[in-house]
Chains A and B, each alone.
Chain A
Amino acid sequence: MNKDKTRGKAKIKKIISIVIALIILGFTAAMFIMPIVLTVTNSFMTKSEITANYGKIFSEEGSSAVSSYIADKVNLKIIPDKVSFGQYITVLIKSPQYLLKFWNSVIYVIPIVIFQIIVALGASYSFARYKGKFRNTMFFIYIALMLMPYQVTLVPNYLVADWMDILNTRWSVILPGIFSPFAVFILTKTMQRIPSSIVEAAKIDGANEWKIFRKVFVPMSKNAIYSVAILLFMDYWNMVEQPLIMLQNNEDMHPLSVYLSKINAGEIGLAFAVAAIYMVLPLLLFLYSEDRVLEGIASSSAIKG
């Protein structure tokens, strides 16, 4: 009898704690996805609805040109009055400058991701296979530099780019990106976990280093490679600092991540569609491979071990 009572109490306690957790998590989660959801739903509004809702904020300059209706009060709506693809049609067909900036982003991100990983695979293999004084020091310097913010690394990057005469070209963003140490760090940590007995076995079978690298280490790091690729993609897709410095005098080459903030008043009617187009790729990639992303993040914490 008594036992039942305490058990009942414990049960109620448990239910209450779950309800509290649900409320807090639900509230936070809703706040977190709100900006994403709003951007997407707003991208399906007609141009006139956007102007009416947000005209008060974005039309300070050149307001003489605005002849359409603007509401007195800003009105943040989740559901469009009328679902329209007008914004998308304008962006995709009538305003090529956005597509060009989108293409810029692609041109920066793809080679950086691919070549940073290829270069890092070699270095990681070397670091994982043999530990000497030189390699340990180098690895430590890689980590130290990985931890430095752009304020520290961009000045050296700029000096080299200036010396190589590649400032204001795509190379000034791509080349430093390729040799950034993030992938080396994660992949080394992964490869260090591959047991040396496998190497010995491969050697006995007569495999040379290139073969061990290609047939053993790279395939065994497949998951980590995938995670690193996604994390790098998301990082560089979002880059702002590097193009601002390296492409100071060449705004045509800016990626969309920088250009988006420069949409001026007249274009607010299609800005949401541009924003939505820009986030759809990383978002889908994430939803498709969430577990891999989580794995990659978790393995990035091995900084001490």
Chain B
Amino acid sequence: MIKKVKSELKRRKPVSFENRDKTSTMPFMIPSIAGFMLFFLIPFFIVLYYSFIDNPINQEFVAFDNYISLLRNHAFMLSLKNTLIFSVIAVPLAVIIPLILALFLENNIPGKSIFRTALISPLVVPVASVILIWQVVFDYNGVINVFLDSVGIEAVDWFKSDFSRLVVVMLFLWKNTGYNMVLFMAALANIPLDVKEAALIDGVGPIRRFFRIKLNFMSSSIFFVTILSLINSFKVFREVYLLTGDYPYEGLYMLQHYINNTFRSLDYQKLSAAAVIICIIITAIIALLFVIDNKLGSSVDE
């Protein structure tokens, strides 16, 4: 039906008119496309090319040698493993916690806007600015260990043990909860009022109301927040670097650490292969999420 109308419209519109739109709006995108091609797209293909040659001077085709040596490289695999472990822990939390907070904020509670502002404010504060406080709190001689000591629990080395993952997860959640919460609040506000009211009249309890109704309407924003958090979890190097520097505890050695350290030795083919592998992994995960979302969402989406 819609197709019919569309084709009808197309038929009525003079063809030259549309063509004119095409050419006359072309100049507007030239700066953007040119810069994007120059800085991102073309070099990306060069990176792809580099990943298949022995070195930029010789330029001999070596098939998958760079990839194989990368997959055998202990440092790379460690950084990949750490990054994925971090994502698996942090992403679900970065979806669930903001979702719960957004649901709480949906109610009419006193001081709502103050809570909202407080929860979002970490988003705008540079991580570098608060790193000192985190160091004071989690250092071996820091506040938490002083407290643990006073209640007779043995001190924990928060930055140099497996607990360090926990510290970084907390910092990550501190930084990212606000953004995700705003997205959920927007989604909640978009649920049609009559749907909410109908559910209220039917006497559906708050928990069932959430799972039966709200969750359905929010599926696409949950999907988006998951993707966003996943991407952000690959950026957690920033937090780790600021907290612990170039060579952190083994469990915190992230992909970006590997990339940074490889940049120092200027091993282009390895860097290129690493970038391509990460690109493939991210694309695969996002594609998988799209498939899951389509399966789950097909029953409810508009």
Contact = CB atoms under 8 A, between A and B. Distances in A.
Interface of A: 17-18, 21-22, 24-26, 28-36, 38-39, 42, 54, 56-58, 73-74, 76, 119-120, 122-123, 125-127, 129-130, 132, 135, 138, 141-142, 144-145, 147-160, 175-176, 178-179, 181, 184, 208-209, 213, 234, 237-238, 240-241, 244-245, 248, 256-258, 260-261, 268, 271-272, 275-276, 278-279, 282-283, 285-287, 290, 293-294, 297-298, 300-301, 303-304
Contacts of A145: 36, 40-41
B44 interface: yes
Contacts of B245: 261
A209 B143 contact: no
Given A76-B143, A149-B231, A240-B242, A159 B186 contact: no
A300 B115 CA distance: 22
Interface string B172-203: 00100111001101110000000000000000
Interface in B3-48: 18, 21-22, 24-33, 35-36, 38-44, 46-47
Contact of B272 (A57, A155, A300, A304): A155
A261 B223 contact: no
A256 B121 CA distance: 20
A42 B237 CA distance: 27
B135 interface: yes
Contacts of A276: 129
Interface stretch (B59-67, B209-217, B254-262): B254-262
17 contacts: A28-B101, A31-B174, A36-B122, A57-B141, A74-B136, A129-B21, A130-B25, A147-B286, A213-B28, A240-B128, A248-B263, A257-B128, A279-B125, A279-B129, A282-B126, A294-B185, A304-B223
Which of B18, B115, B221 has the most A CB atoms < 10 Å from its CB?
A: B115
Q: Which 5 A-B pairs have the closest CB atoms?
A: A156-B43, A123-B32, A179-B35, A126-B29, A298-B186
B131 interface: yes
Given A151-B274, A156-B275, A18 B221 contact: no
Interface in B124-170: 124-137, 139, 141-143, 146
A234 B107 CA distance: 30
A144 B282 CA distance: 10
Contacts of A36: 121-122, 125, 130
With most chain A CB atoms within 10 A of its CB, the pick from B129, B182, B235 is: B129
A31 B177 CA distance: 12
Nearest to A105: B126
Contacts, number: 283
A285 B72 CA distance: 48
Nearest to A260: B128
B256 A151 contact: yes
Contacts of B119: 25, 28-29, 32
A31 B25 CA distance: 50
A32 B33 contact: no
Given A120-B32, A155-B272, A286-B124, A240 B182 contact: no
Contacts of B227: 147, 303
Nearest to B46: A159
Interface of A is mostly: helix
Interface residues of B, number: 100
DSSP class of B's interface residues: helix, strand, loop or mixed? helix
A285 B124 contact: yes
A300 B42 CA distance: 26
The residue in B231, B279, B283 that gathers the most chain A C-beta atoms within 10 A of its C-beta is: B279
Contacts of B146: 73-74
B80 to A, nearest CB: 10
Contact of A240 (B41, B238, B283): B238
Contacts of A119: 31-32, 35
B73 interface: no
Contacts of B114: 29
A190 to B, nearest CB: 15
A126 B130 contact: no
B183 A297 contact: yes
B123 interface: yes
A25 B224 contact: no
Given A18-B107, A279-B126, A301-B183, 17 more contacts: A22-B110, A25-B109, A30-B118, A33-B121, A35-B130, A74-B142, A122-B30, A145-B40, A147-B286, A151-B275, A153-B40, A159-B46, A176-B39, A179-B36, A181-B36, A275-B128, A304-B224
A241 B237 contact: yes
Most chain B beta-carbon contacts within 10 A, residue among A125, A244, A256: A244
Given A18-B109, A76-B143, A126-B29, A151 B128 contact: no
Contacts of B278: 149, 151-152
Interface string B279-302: 100110010000000000000000
Contacts of A34: 133
Nearest to A245: B263
A244 to B, nearest CB: 6
Nearest to B83: A151
A157 B40 contact: yes
Given A151-B275, A152-B282, A260 B38 contact: no
